[in-house]
Structure 1
Amino acid sequence: MATQTSLPPNLPSSIRTVLQPDKLSSKLILTTTQLPQPSHPDDVLVKVHTTCPGAGELWWMRDYPAVIPADKLAVPCSDLCGQVVAAPVGSGFRDGDEVYARVSPSRPGCAREYTLARTSELAPKPASLNFAEAAAAPLSALTAWQALFVQADSLDAAALHGDEAARRRNGSRRVLVTGAAGGVGSWVVQLAALAGAGAVVAVCSAAKAEAARRLGATEVVDYKANPLPEWIAEDRQGRECDVVIATVGGPMLAQCWYAVREGGELISITGDPAAARPADVADKTLAKCSFFIVEPLGRILREITPLIDAGKVHPVVDSVFELKDIEAAFERVEKGKAQGKVVVQVDGLRS
């Protein structure tokens, strides 16, 4: 059983930290705060190399008060790549280990020089990735994995590890993902293709179509030139999908109702799909229609890591910003133009 972490004596007492002073504003400041102190038996102190802004993240404290404590130190960014500085005895982690994780948004994030992660959130960093690439993986990969293989029931993750029977079963499934070239969407495309889905339909702009095909998409829909309802109507029987993963909210979430077949599954990471149901598909019955918030599970990252190191899947990095430019990094994310993940370099190192 792990015992609470004790810190080495040579650490700084204060660290560079990005804060969001007002939960009703996206304004960020770069300041200094005290070195975080372990307070939970599973706390691991990590020196942060890289992290990533999340879409809509600066409004989470406002929008999800049941998830984000009101007294949370408002440090943004929950993706992490870094190096263990101090870990509980018996935790399986040692000083100097390179790790990656998604840290729960209920606790301070990773846009600071040192942060605290739980042993249950951490996994060893994939050896084949540099720091920027490793930070780009956890939140997006975990979200895609849980959407496809936990929230949806139609696909079997055993196919990813060589189970041919599972792969044959997956081969009868059509999977569609919106925002297919984004952080989460790019992972949905890769994992669905790797699992042997019979079709992987990527919904994205024309400018991102070729990138989606390289990731494994078998069909690409330009949502600007060909909105989903119109595309589906051209060949309803041939184009409706068994599993639809919605990574984009608003009108696009509503359009997903036209793409999912009767008895299919509609899984959203952006809001409740039932609330977005259009009136003209009111009689469509689904096996599953759900919104979920990803769980920060290191055990799933440990399943994804060998796939990364074998070159079967990979994170997509759009750009890398310095910590002082984190507002510009968030701006790029929110504009929706990024192809993959925007990364923030915290410690100034490059690898």
Structure 2
Amino acid sequence: MASANLPTTIRAVYQIDPKLTTLKLQQTPLPKPSGPDDHLIKIKATAPCLGELGWEINYPSIFPPNRERVPGTEAAGIVATSPESSPFKPGDEVYFRLHARFPGCLREYTIAHTEELALKPKSLDWVESTATPLSTLTAWQGVFTQGTLNKHGIRGDADARAYNSKLRVLITGAGGSVGTWAVQFAAAAGAGSVVAQCSGANIEAAKKAGATEIIDYKKQSIDEWAKEDPSREVDLILDCLGGPTLASCWSAVKENGTLLSVVGGPDELKPESVTKKLAKSTWFLMDCKGEDLKEIADFIDARGLKPQIDSVVEFEQFQEAYDKVEQKKAKGKVVIKVDI
């Protein structure tokens, strides 16, 4: 099914050289759906991801040869055309995160696939919806899919909440985009304790999100915190920082517990003095699951939650936006307006 009045050419931004973070605006033909799950999406806005412009160099096996190098893996927009069998119809307002191997969303139209799509949260505007998919999917899958909490606790399932109530969860980097969502998901699912590692103004924000305990990293390390009281050990850790913080998480996780990181491999940073064995210790990458985004949209709408947004820029300011994110100067998401 198609909408009328589609352009023949569009504005699109390209990373010409995968070794450089320099981007270039060009006119290019309208993308054409070619597969049974392909949807043409009119992009309203997109958001850069830290490190995105280095992925092809660092993880070459992910990318097909001669790919169309358009950045921007998460976005919100309107379905322009869809396959007959799709649950999404022209005119539907959607949000999504694309698999990195596909051309991205820093262009006026892009192709998204059935499995990646969900209707955007009704309570969020275009900018807010754009800033949501990657962070929420990472947090949701870290707490529920990869982690040990039962997601049905969010909807009030008594058995799930009883199970979750016995678990202690620690989120590092709890003041960041992923960490804040993870605290909210864990608390809403009924975790027995939600420990947030953060500092400064983020402490009150973490408590508001549902944290029951705080580790102020400016005052003590996780290692020091855990050694003060053995009963502080946790069943699940979701690490959003890596490095020395991830190494110190080994002191806080229980024997047979779960230690997850979205930054690096926990086993590579395991201190030699630690002898405990875990049920799971892994670095994971989020999966672009529209089914998860549907549940997340319901959660956001029910609770009136908002993503962290650093700034919003015009389409022509794409280079400034990517530079800010790559230089780690953004506190929250930088959103690039494409058609708002």
Ranges in structure 1 where 5+ consecutive residues have no aligned partner: none
Partner of 1:255: 248
Question: What does residue 78 of structure 1 align with?
Answer: 73
Change in Cα spacing, 1:201 to 1:116, as seen in structure 2 (3 Å) is same
- Structure 2 match to 1:11: 6
Helix, strand or coil for the counterpart of 2:62? coil
- Cross-structure match for 2:264: 271
Q: Which one-letter code corresponds to 2:202 in the other structure?
A: K
Matches within 5 A, 1:30-41: 30-41=25-36
Aligned amino acid, residue 78 of structure 1 = T
* 1:126 and 2:82 correspond: no
Number of the residue aligned with 2:321: 329
> How far 1:276 sits from its partner (Å)?
1.8
What's the secondary structure of 1:258's corresponding residue? helix
Match of 2:288 among 289, 293, 296: 296
What is the deviation of 1:46? 0.4
Please name the residue that 1:243 is paired with.
236
Partner of 1:96, secondary structure, is coil
Q: For 1:188 and 1:146, how far apart are their aligned partners in 2?
A: 9
Shift of 1:207: 3.6
Which 10-residue stretch deviates more, 33-42 or 206-215? Answer: 206-215
Cα displacement string for residues 184-234 of structure 1 (whole angstroms, at most 9, x for unaligned residues): 111111100100111112222324222222222222223233222222222
The alignment partner of 2:273 has SS state of: helix
Paired amino acid for 1:144: A
Aligned counterparts of 1:253 and 1:168: Cα–Cα separation in 2: 29
- Within 5 Å, give how 1:158-169 maps onto structure 2: 158-169=152-163
Equivalent position of 1:310 in the other structure: 302
Using the alignment, how far apart are the partners of 2:276 and 2:326 within structure 1? 33
2:188 paired with 1:190: no
Question: Following superposition of structure 1 onto structure 2, how do residues 38-49 of structure 1 map, counting pairs within 5 Å?
Answer: 38-49=33-44
Whole-Å separation in 2 of the counterparts to 1:45 and 1:22: 26
| TM-score normalised by L of structure 1 | 0.91
Q: Secondary structure at the match of 1:66?
A: helix
Structure 2 unaligned regions, length at least 5: none
Tell me the amino acid that sits aligned with residue 272 of structure 2. Answer: A
- Alpha-carbon distance in 2 for matches of 1:256, 1:24: 34
Contact residue 175 and residue 241 of structure 1 kept, 8 A: yes
Cα contact 1:190–1:313 (8 A) shared by 2:
no
Please state how far the C-alpha of 1:32 moved relative to its aligned partner: 2.5
TM-score by length of 2: 0.94
Deviation (angstroms), 1:134: 0.8
Match for residue 50 of structure 1?
45
CA contact (8 A) 1:178 1:245 kept: yes
Aligned amino acid, residue 280 of structure 2: K
- Residues of 2 paired with 1:333 and 1:217: CA distance? 27
Q: For this pair of structures, how many residues does the alignment match?
A: 340
- For 1:287, give the aligned amino acid: A
**Paired residue type of 1:76:** P
Of 216, 225, 231, 1:222 maps to 216
Instruction: Report what 2:332 is aligned to.
Output: 340
Change over 3 Å in CA distance of 1:215–1:32 after alignment to 2: farther
From 273, 283, 294, the counterpart of 1:280:
273
How much is the aligned-residue C-alpha RMSD, in angstroms? Answer: 1.8
Take 2:325 and 2:221, find their aligned partners in 1: how far apart are those partners?
23
Which amino acid in structure 2 is aligned with residue 317 of structure 1? Answer: I
SS in 2 for 1:206: coil
**In the superposition, relative to structure 1, how do residues 244 and 336 fare at CA in structure 2: closer, same or farther (>3 Å)?**
farther
- How far apart are the structure 1 equivalents of 2:273 and 2:19? 36
Task: Report the CA distance between 1:339 and its aligned residue.
Answer: 3.9
Counterpart AA for 2:268: A
Deviation of the 1:15 alpha carbon: 1.6
CA contact (8 A) 1:208 1:339 kept: no
The equivalent position to 1:96 in structure 2, one of 91, 98, 110, is: 91
Q: Is the 8 A contact 1:191 1:313 kept in 2?
A: no
Contact 2:168/2:235 (<8 A) preserved = yes
CA deviation digits over 1:156-194, x for unaligned, max 9?
111011102211211121111122122211111110010
Percent identity reads: 48
